């Protein structure tokens, strides 16, 4: 009676308590997360579907992580969202959950939670914005910002023009419409089998986004009835599919961190090296910014992810089961491609196999580092140059316009103390703009090395996720300005040309920075966060506890 009576204050009739599945709709809606601001309306469509299928839908809020406003970085809170959602899924009397996400961290955060609870779950991402339109050309969120920022610094664009352009770029609901991290993770969720086919690409304002949401509401009731849980869908084979799809779409380097973290919750063995090895024979098929030309709206009209997955054919595990109750191969068997300039065929790819995310190793990154080759300049993929070292992005920004900065196009910029513990939260700061004096000379790229991340919408020859990070005592902390560094992407090598005995001497002099915070979440985070090469989850959140309250199934 207590349960029913209090719920009836919302005006429900007694039939909803007849034993039908109770479906939680976890929404990351917030006006502080503009990419997710329409999820309230998406939830209404999900509810329709749940009612239609005989379930009882209940919407509830989880942390909304907006990439653009949160300080110091939304990544600091991905694990907090995952932890909060996990506890809500388990503590409430739910039979299944629909995960409403959009902006970068909300998709992996909710998938991590669903993985650890292992209730039947389906994801509905909010969809990308419509293409930005500025002065007769398409402009991509994020990607255009980096370009305009450089143009503003170099005097090619006025501040007034920037104000006007930014409105043209963000003209509808939805997440970034480049193949940035949000589009990448929406695609990963679809490739993993956790959201319905075509879900990743419907624009946020497209009626089919809402139709798909309604369908997801129906499907979650089926998933509950058939007990098809995330651990049965997100298998090693599903992750291999997601990694290969990520290579084919030119997806964000952030996919490596997030997929490793999700796999860690499920106990699926997955390593950073899998991202290089599995992508080795996958060409880039999708011609989207930042690696290519088009935007997510074009991708949708060209056939979306099913067209890509059909094209990949035997490179995917076609028998992997998905939330539809059907296999990947069944889902995409008839998927058409309507535009071969947007989604290339395997025999005429945008970029050849092996040009996706590469995993580098060497004395500068013994546990690995990554580089997105398709966003890099080919002439810099083999490069040797002297280091110019900065202990924070702010220290670099303070001198970026200095005409006397001792840097040229051969310089290797080191931006460090930006890893999970260091900043903290591993912000997207690695693609720092080039020194103004080099921009003015027409230099458009140079090698940058960082233990932080790069926005999925960004481009440049940037070595990321260096592990271990400087704040954890990684070799990056020992680099000094003037040291020579060799980047050899074809050989997957990143080498600091300093003898071991000298590095040992420098290590003896090195002292770890103090914790970033004395208390609170940030202290908990920095005390327990793992390194990027394993997904930057908290050490005590690895694994699953199932959905029984007070029990630990692992």
Site residues (vs ligand FES, CB under 6 A): 35, 67-68, 103-104, 141-142, 175-176, 180, 182
Residue pair 387/485 in contact by the 8 Å Cβ criterion: yes
Minimum gap (Å) between residue 375 Cβ and ligand FES: 16
Shortest Cβ 136–ligand FES spacing (Å): 24
CB of 181 or CB of 322, closer to ligand FES: 181
394: number of Cβ within 10 Å? 10
User: Toward ligand FES, which CB reaches closer, 104 or 190?
Assistant: 104
The dihedrals phi and psi of 317, each to the nearest 5 degrees, come to -80, 95
Q: Say if residues 82 and 17 touch (Cβ distance below 8 Å).
A: no
Smallest distance from ligand FES to CB 171, Å: 14
Contact 210, 45 (CB under 8 A): yes
Q: Which residue's CB is nearer to ligand FES, number 70 or number 256?
A: 70
Alpha carbons 346 and 301: distance in angstroms, whole number: 19
Please state the closest distance from residue 430 (CB atom) to ligand FES, in A: 16
DSSP one-letter string for 249-283 = HT--THHHHHHHHHHHHHT----HHHHHHHHTT--
Residue 142 or 422 having the CB closest to ligand FES: 142
Residue 166 or residue 488: which is nearer to ligand FES going by CB? 166
What stretch of H or E contains 397?
helix 393-397
Does an H or E element contain 41, and which?
helix 39-52
Closer to ligand FES by Cβ: residue 141 or 374? 141
Write out the two tokens for 133.
């339109």
103 vs 342, beta carbon nearer ligand FES: 103
107 Cβ partners below 8 Å, 6+ apart? 101, 123, 125, 182, 185, 186, 188, 189, 258
CA–CA–CA angle 245, 145, 462 (5° rounding): 55
What is the smallest separation between the CB atom of 52 and ligand FES, expressed in angstroms?
30
φ, ψ for residue 352 (rounded to 5)? -65, 165
Question: Please, what sign has the CA dihedral across residues 154, 156, 158, 161?
Answer: negative
The answer to whether 368 and 465 are in contact (CB under 8 A) is yes
Residue from 123, 70, 132, 71 nearest 98 by CA:
123
* Least Å from the CB of residue 35 to ligand FES: 3
Minimal distance, residue 128 CB to ligand FES, in Å: 8
CB of 103 to ligand FES, least distance (A): 3
Least distance in angstroms from the C-beta of 406 to ligand FES: 35
Rounded distance, CA 321 to CA 223, Å? 12
Q: Choose between 68 and 172: whose C-beta lies nearer to ligand FES.
A: 68
| Closer by beta carbon to ligand FES, 36 or else 229 | 36
C-alpha–C-alpha distance, residues 539 and 525, integer Å: 10
């Amino acid at each position: 009676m207590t349960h029913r009576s209090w719920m009836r204050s919302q005006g429900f009739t007694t039939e909803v308590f007849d034993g039908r599945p109770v479906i939680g709709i976890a929404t990351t809606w917030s006006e502080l997360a503009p990419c997710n601001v329409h999820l309230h309306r998406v939830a209404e469509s999900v509810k329709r579907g749940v009612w239609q299928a005989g379930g009882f839908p209940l919407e509830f809020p989880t942390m909304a992580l907006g990439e653009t406003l949160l300080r110091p970085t939304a990544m600091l809170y991905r694990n907090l969202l995952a932890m909060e959602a996990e506890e809500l899924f388990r503590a409430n009397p739910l039979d299944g959950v629909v995960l409403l996400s959009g902006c970068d961290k909300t998709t992996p955060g909710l998938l991590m939670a669903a993985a650890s609870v292992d209730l039947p779950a389906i994801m509905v991402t909010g969809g990308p914005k419509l293409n930005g339109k500025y002065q007769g050309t398409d402009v991509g969120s994020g990607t255009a910002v980096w370009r305009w920022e450089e143009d503003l610094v170099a005097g090619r664009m006025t501040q007034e023009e920037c104000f006007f352009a930014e409105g043209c770029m963000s003209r509808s609901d939805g997440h970034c419409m480049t193949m940035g991290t949000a589009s990448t993770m929406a695609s990963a969720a679809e490739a993993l089998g956790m959201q319905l086919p075509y879900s990743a690409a419907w624009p946020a304002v497209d009626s089919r986004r809402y139709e798909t949401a309604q369908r997801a509401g129906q499907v979650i009731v089926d998933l509950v009835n058939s007990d098809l849980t995330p651990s049965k869908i997100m298998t090693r084979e599903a992750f291999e599919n997601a990694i290969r799809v990520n290579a084919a779409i030119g997806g964000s380097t952030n996919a490596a961190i997030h997929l490793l973290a999700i796999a860690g919750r499920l106990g699926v063995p997955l390593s950073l090296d899998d991202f290089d090895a599995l992508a080795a024979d996958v060409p880039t098929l999708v011609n989207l910014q930042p690696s290519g030309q088009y935007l997510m709206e074009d991708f949708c009209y060209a056939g979306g992810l099913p067209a890509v997955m059909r094209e990949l054919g035997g490179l995917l595990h076609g028998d992997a089961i998905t939330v539809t109750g059907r296999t990947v191969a069944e889902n995409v068997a008839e998927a058409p491609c309507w535009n071969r300039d947007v989604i290339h065929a395997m025999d005429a790819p945008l970029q050849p196999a092996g040009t996706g995310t590469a995993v580098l190793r060497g004395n500068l990154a013994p546990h690995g580092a990554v580089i997105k080759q398709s966003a890099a300049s080919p002439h810099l993929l083999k490069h040797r140059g002297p280091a110019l070292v900065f202990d924070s992005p702010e220290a670099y920004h303070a001198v970026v316009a200095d005409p006397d900065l001792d840097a040229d196009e051969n310089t290797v910029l080191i931006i460090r103390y930006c890893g999970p513990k260091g900043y903290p939260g591993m912000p997207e700061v690695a693609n720092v703009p080039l020194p103004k004096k080099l921009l003015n000379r027409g230099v458009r790229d140079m090698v940058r090395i960082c233990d932080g991340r790069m926005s999925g919408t960004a481009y440049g020859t940037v070595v990321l996720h260096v592990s271990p990070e400087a704040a954890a005592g990684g070799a990056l902390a020992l680099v000094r300005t003037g040291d020579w560094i060799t980047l050899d992407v074809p050989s997957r090598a990143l080498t600091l040309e300093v003898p071991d005995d000298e590095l040992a001497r420098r290590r003896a002099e090195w002292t770890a920075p103090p914790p970033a915070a004395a208390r609170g979440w940030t202290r908990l985070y920095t005390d327990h966060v793992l390194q990027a090469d394993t997904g930057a989850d908290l050490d005590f959140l690895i694994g699953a506890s199932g959905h029984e309250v007070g029990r630990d199934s692992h």
